[in-house]
Amino acid sequence: MSIDYGQKIPNNVDLASDKVLQRALEHWQPEYLKWWQEMGPDDSQAMDVYLRTAVSVEPSGWAHFEHVKMPDYRWGIFLTPLEGERRINFGDHKGEPAWQEVPGEHRANLRRLIVTQGDTEPASVEQQRHLGLTAPSLYDLRNLFQVNVEEGRHLWAMVYLLHKYFGRDGREEAETLLERRSGDVDNPRILGAFNEKTPDWLSFFMFTYFTDRDGKYQLCALAESGFDPLARTTRFMLTEEAHHMFVGESGVGRIVQRTAEAMVKHRTESPDQLRALGVIDLPTIQRYLNFHFSVTIDLFGADESSNAATFYSTGLKGRFEEGKRSDDHQLRGQTYKVLAVSNGQLVEREVPMLNALNEVLRDDYIKDSVGGVNRWNKVIEKAGIPFRLVTPHKAFHRNIGALAGAKVSPDGRVISEAEWNANVDHWLPSGSDRAFVASLMGRVVEPGQFANWIAPPMMGINRQPVNFDYVRFN
Ligand code: BYC
């Protein structure tokens, strides 16, 4: 399962033995590189970056670190090994051998899932492309580029599936993945959160904490797929996703720490005074959290979805940790509670569980995402500050599903339009919050130096010191 870097496209799938596929992907490769030049990290071409590259998909091989010239980075196709006789473990096909080819009747749905997943990857690179210009340290700049190159590789992972298993339609979809653009009014990315801006580093850390975690949950659900090549591809992607969420959690944690230090040192809770000291006040961090949490939970789709029921019943997309659940893995006749607004109140409704599987995954996600918020609160608590960060109610600021457009406060009260308008600037980042955060951004390039608004990390990457030259400018 080692990766052949002697090939034009590094891979562990014996691409050389399938000349037609190899040619098709080698045709897509220059288009991809053109897209990366145009939409990838701004002004990064002359940099050498201390990056992790997989040399094999075994645990010993996927964390190989060295300085890489950005234009020389090699994207490839890596699948986890075939697992002997894998069987489908949910839905109508439960117990049947997993598919090595696409079943004709599920082709359109499978393609749609792969395209939706694939579309998010270049979208996030596009959203983050200017952040390198304002990195708060070399350590953070390296982490940004690590995330970016791996999202690029995740696009390769989906494009490989499209080319190998979906013929001409697959090749066309692969082309359009390079044509849509995050935030473009005429040709936007498919899912809402991937058309939002990531204009500053607080947004970046919130995005990698919350939105990359949606990636984790969706990839885990796809890793259960009865279509074995999709399951094996997404499993390897998950090994990379963990670092992205670490970047987010530790990034927000370090911002919170710096703010808490300033609050203690200057004995103040006043946002204005803290802003004058050049750190981000906790209420602003809370508003960014509210924004990224609510935009991200929309990514799970409508609370009641016949698509979700079909994806599950036909064995295309499972639940998070399907194998660890002790029910019948078919879910017929079972129900699940979803929320709706009725007579000015949030009410729970029981609906068929199969149709509520987007909500099931969203609820699993919410439970997980609270963990990091509690760890941020530990930093605040340790400093003796009474403030606590909280995730907003799941009905707050929703744009997808039954709660779309409902006016609900962060603590879960259905409110009037007037109350919403009077408070929205306390609940979501306002223009002046964003302008303030933007005013702090500026590139720090001395090894071991950090911008004033963020604390240094406890440890460096791959046991290197914090003041290591993670990025060399040529
Ligand atoms: N924005 O029946 P519904 C990641 C559309 S992140 C805009 O609920 P379904 C990453 C929907 O397409 C993980 N539109 O949809 C993270 C449908 O449209 P049509 C990405 C939306 O299919 C960070 C209609 O609304 N992977 O990897 O049940 C950095 C009805 O909706 C949205 C996946 O998402 C939205 N938020 O559920 C880099 C996994 N939500 O058909 C990467 C693959 C729904 O009426 N995707 N719509 O035109 C899926 O499993 C499903 O497509 C979804 C949607 C769960 C996303």
pLDDT tens, 407-454?
Answer: 999 999 999 999 999 999 999 999 999 999 999 999 999 999 999 999
pLDDT at 4 over 90: no
Q: What is the pLDDT of residues 190-204, one digit of tens each?
A: 999 999 999 999 999
Where does the pLDDT of residue 78 fall: very low under 50, low under 70, confident under 90, or very high at 90 and above? confident
Supply the pLDDT for residue 10.
93
Question: What is the average pLDDT across 208-230?
Answer: 98
Q: What is the mean pLDDT of residues 33-53?
A: 96
The CA 300 to ligand 1 mean position distance, Å, reads: 6
> What is the pLDDT at residue 474?
81
For the chain, percent of residues with pLDDT exceeding 90:
93
- Specify the higher pLDDT residue, 57 or 267: 267
- On average, the pLDDT of the chain sits at 96
Distance 112 CA to ligand 1 centre (A): 10
Q: Give, using CA atoms, the residue closest to atom 26 of ligand 1.
A: 117
**Cα–Cα nearest to 265, from 386, 439, 375, 384:** 384
Mean pLDDT of 3-32: 94
- Residue nearest (by alpha carbon) to ligand 1 atom 7: 191
**pLDDT top residue among 82 and 288:** 288
Task: Encode pLDDT of 254-283 as tens digits.
Answer: 999 999 999 999 999 999 999 999 999 999
pLDDT grade, residue 1 (50/70/90)?
low
In order of 116, 235, 298, the CA distances from 231 in angstroms are: 16, 6, 24
What does the pLDDT read at residue 59? 75
Letter string b/e over residues 317-339, b meaning 16 or more CB atoms within 10 A of that residue's CB: bbbbebeeeeeebebeeeebebb
At 126-166, the pLDDT tens digits run: 999 999 999 999 999 999 999 999 999 999 999 999 999 99
Residue nearest ligand 1's atom 47 by CA: 301
Q: Is 196 in the pocket of ligand 1 (CB under 6 A)?
A: no
Using CA positions, which residue lies closest to atom 20 of ligand 1?
A: 117
Evaluate: CB of 126 within 6 angstroms of ligand 1: no
Asked whether the predicted pLDDT for residue 293 surpasses 70, the reply is yes
Q: Return the pLDDT at 380.
A: 98
Q: Is the pLDDT of residue 390 over 90?
A: yes
- Would you say residue 236 has pLDDT above 90? no
| Average pLDDT over every residue of 57-72 | 86
Task: Please state, for a pLDDT cut of 70, what percent of the chain lies above it.
Answer: 100
